[in-house]
Amino acid sequence: MKKNLFLNLALIAGAISMAACNEVHQHDLKKVEAVPATCLTGGNIEYYHCDGCSKNYSDAKGTQEVTNVQTAALGHSMNYVDAVPGVDCEHKGTIGYYLCENCNKKFSDQAGQNEITSIVGEYGNHNLAHHDAVPGADCETQGTIEYWDCSVCGKKFSDAQGTTEITSIVGEYGNHNLAHHDAVPGADCET
C-alpha cells in the first residue's frame, strides 16, 4: 500500500510537472524605441521586451527572439580642415581643425579629445601703400613723415608690416628762407 501511495504521488507530481511544461507563456511585450549610437556612447535597436520571461524580440508578436539589442559606439571619423587666412585686415580667417563626420563636432586634436566651439582665426594683412617723407616747404609749413596707409581700413602705420599704428603723419617744419644781408657800418658811434 505504501508502495502504491508513493507511486500515485509520483504520478500526480509528474502530471503537474508535465502540465506546467506544456503551459504556453503569454508575452506582455513592450516596445523599446531604437536609440542611435553616438561617437562616444552605444545605442540599441528597436525591439520588444517581455518582463515575464525577460526576453527580447524583434517583432511585436514575440516570435523572433534577439539576444543582443545593443549597438556599439560609432567613434569619431575625423577629417582635417585646413586653416584659411583672413583676406584682409578687416576679415578674419579660420584656424585648422578636425571635423567629425558622424557628430559634426569640431576638435583641435585628431583623437577628438578637445572639442572647440570657435574656428575663427586671425585677421589678414593690411593692404599697405608706402608714402615717403615730404619736408615742409618753409618754416611755417609742416611736411609729412614717412608712413604706410591701408587701403582697406584707412589706418596709418610707421612700419611696412602694419604693426605700429600712428594717428598723425605731420612732420617737421621746413627751413627758414633766409636772405643774407651785409652789415652796414654806422656813420659814428651813435648811428
Stated pTM of the model: 0.56
Query: What are the cell numbers at 132?
Result: 615717403
Q: What's residue 25's pLDDT?
A: 81
For residues 180 and 115, what is the distance between their CA atoms, to the nearest angstrom? 78
Query: What are the cell numbers at 29?
Result: 511585450
Q: What's residue 3's pLDDT?
A: 52
Q: What's residue 110's pLDDT?
A: 96
Angle, vertex CA 7, rays to CA 6 and CA 9, nearest 5: 65
For residues 144 and 130, what is the distance between their CA atoms, to the nearest angstrom? 12
Q: What's residue 6's pLDDT?
A: 47
State the first-to-last Cα distance of the chain, in angstroms, to the nearest integer. 176
Q: What's residue 23's pLDDT?
A: 64
Q: What's residue 14's pLDDT?
A: 46
User: pLDDT tens per residue, the chain (191 residues)?
Assistant: 455 544 444 445 444 434 444 567 888 999 999 999 999 999 999 999 999 999 999 999 999 999 999 999 999 999 999 999 999 999 999 999 999 999 999 999 999 999 999 999 999 999 999 999 998 878 888 889 999 999 999 999 999 999 999 999 988 887 777 777 787 777 777 76
Task: HSE, CB side, 13 Å, CA atoms: give it for residue 148.
Answer: 17
Q: Which residues pair with 88 in a beta bridge?
A: 91
